[in-house]
Structure 1
Amino acid sequence: MAGSGLALLILLVCALILAVLVLVLFQLRRPRDTEPAAATLLLQQIETVRQEQARALEANAQLLNQRLAEMQQVLLESTNAVGARLDNTAQLSGELNRRLGELSAAAQNMLELGRNLMSLQDILRAPKPRGVLGEFFLGNILQEMVPNNYEMQYRFRSGEKVDAVVRLGGKLVPVDAKFPLEDFQRLLAAGDENERLTLRRQFLQRVKKHIDAIAQKYILPDEGTFDFALMYIPAENVYYETIVTAPDQDEGILNYAFARRVIPVSPGTIYAYLQAIVLGLRGMQVERRAQEILDHLDRLQSDISRLQEKFQILGNHLTNAHNRYEEAARELERLTTRLTLSVPVADPKSENRQS
């Protein structure tokens, strides 16, 4: 805008100069007698041109100043906007750096967790430490649920040791921690469906062996156990694979376990099973108490019947005695009457005269 105004001003000045030159040449060619008048006219025209030029220059200068002021305002607003955006960019950059720092820390924690998991996997790879860890988790759960009614590593007379027993109602609930990790890991790493089915069958066969061992070694009613035991599986995913029945199997693992009085439980279900056992024992106690009350009532009924018989006999005896008493009284009265009639009564006057 300012460049176009300046170019217009230059063109206007050039046009005025050209007009003055043309006018001067025209005056020079006129006759000499008219020179004073022509000079005066020329001066007037020059003055007029100068005034118009001055006005034009002033107008263009004002326009140019206005345009410059507008451009300065626009430039200032643009500068402020750019500054604000730079500030926002700086803030966003700081926030981004902070988030990147957090992500870096989280990634470091994930790497550390991964190393810890690998270490835990190495620890669990051997059967003995794995069993100890399962017993540890089982002990923590029993400590929270039945703190005073359980014992770890309970030994039977046969020398067999079960991981834990829970004392309920004067009897023992054997709890054994079985953790078929190797077969389960192979099942998870199966490449296709056929391999998965094969490995699943192997996994379930391993679990069935555990069930048979528990039923044979730990269900010992002669030593104070209930006629069932709990098979504790210390991982929910392993528990799920244990109790879910494949479509092509004739007998589910859960039915197999129940048939041998072994109940598979997990960290999330063992409490519910123990509660059900406690409630069942309470129901048995109530039923036993009710039976005892009925037995007492039967004995009381028998005693009352015998007492009624004795009262009946006593009543009969009393009735017979009363009848005999009345008969004896009547007989005595008759004898008294007969005796009175048969013995004469002496006259007192005659007795006095004789004396």
Structure 2
Amino acid sequence: MEVVILTIIIIFVVVIVLIEVMIYMFLRKKFQAIDTIRDSASKLDGTVSTIQTLSGNLFKQIDGLTKLQSELKLNFQSFYDMLIMKPSVKGRVGEGIVKFILSSFPEKLWKEQYKISGSGIVDFAIFMPPDDRILPMDAKFSLPEGIIERVLEEGEIVFLNKEQRKKANTLVIKRMREVTKYINPLEGTMDFALIFIPDSVYLALTNETLGELQSNRVIPVNTSGLISTLFLIERQYISIRISKAVDRLEDIKFTMESQFSKISIILRKAETQGENSNKNITNAIHQLKSAENKILESFGLLEE
């Protein structure tokens, strides 16, 4: 009788152990689902933090662009005021006025004394958006004093006579031949170059000279022409930066939607797993009770 009772106890213990193992496996799956949720939540926190950082940087960038536009307006007004107050600046200054104008534009747009491989050092290099190809610009054209053979007085406006205009055109063509060497697309330049010419000389250029310059892909610019050209380049530069900022914002939006979609799927899956685990645990308890009753019943120990 003792052996029978011992056997029953052993069987009962084994059944309980098996049931507990089943319960443990179900619980482990449930907790694994919870861990998955926690891990996903942690990743979500990191994603949200990253998105907040990117958004902050984006707004700072847009704010910087706004400030840049405001500064540009002020600088443009400064150009206008100075050139109106001192007309001699238009005719007397070559590299000086070019550098002055360029200095009020973003530094990323230009370099002074820039070396072009295989072509030498150009006075100024303008980097054209969007791929930063080099637009060479020469500013070494002879000053008006070299044409009129006297020193200009402060504020003096120069009007060239016929002989002086002829000399000016000859000098421009001569300088143009020096400038063409900077046109080297294989080394990253545009297929044309700029030559800065003082206003008084620019007004003296003939159609023949302009045609010669065009055929050699050298574009003459005076003070207002240079300001206008740079202004348009700077506008394009800002437009590209704004476009990139908008694209970045779209990327952030897509990342947020993607991450929240993944989290929603994980949460729904975890919820389903949790419900299934609860059902399995309840069934296991019922099976345990049923097994217990059957064992007791088989030995006539089940209470009525």
TM-score scaled by length of structure 2 = 0.44
Please say which structure displays the higher CA radius of gyration.
1
Instruction: Give 1 or 2: higher helix fraction.
Output: 1
